[in-house]
Amino acid sequence: MAQLLSRRWFGFWLLALLSLLVGSALADDRESIERKSQEALRKLRIHAPEADQLVSKASGVLVFPDMVEMGFGEGGRYGEGVLLVNQEPVAYYAATGGHHDLPKTEGLKAEVVLFMNQDALVSFRNTVNWKVGVSGGVTRVHVDGRGRIESKQAIGPVLGFTFSDRQLTPHLDLAGTVINRIAR
């Protein structure tokens, strides 16, 4: 009986250790997050060339280059990203939110949040569990059929873009997204 319990505990701890190792192996490292984020910003500029002006004016640019749709349980999405200040990485973050239900044909899904002034950036960096719509609002930026930003939508201290490999997806809502700093 004692030997059976000992084997079960050994199996339990072995499984727990393996899940930790696999989980950390699947997480992106700094270089990967930074590389993917630069690629996401490049795609954003292709989808909406005028976004480059907003990105260059922003006090901080938070990029989640690969938001993964989770299909188990109630679903949702998860992604890891980087906060860029003066185009340099200063911190890494994880975002979780509701399911967007984009077709798989859209490819990678990305989210970019622009902090257009220093106060908005400082407030974000000083808040644990920063939640869109509660801790701070994010104005979704819309573009017209030619990729030009609708000027009325590009006003506010915090602006947000959602897009896929194929197109901007301004109909997707960031409300309820929770963002937390992570160690990388």
Domain boundaries, the chain: 28-182
Return d(Cα 117, Cα 120) in angstroms, integer.
6
Residue 149 confidence (pLDDT)? 81
Quote the pTM value. 0.79
Element (H, E) at 9: helix 2-26
Read off the pLDDT of residues 112-152 as tens digits, 9 standing for 90 and up. 999 999 999 999 999 999 988 777 788 888 777 777 787 66
Residue 157: per-residue pLDDT: 94
For 88-105, write each residue's pLDDT tens digit: 999 999 999 887 665 555
Beta-bridge mates of residue 92: 82, 182
Check if the beta carbon of residue 125 is closer than 8 Å to that of residue 158.
no
**Lookup: tokens for 52:** 């480059």
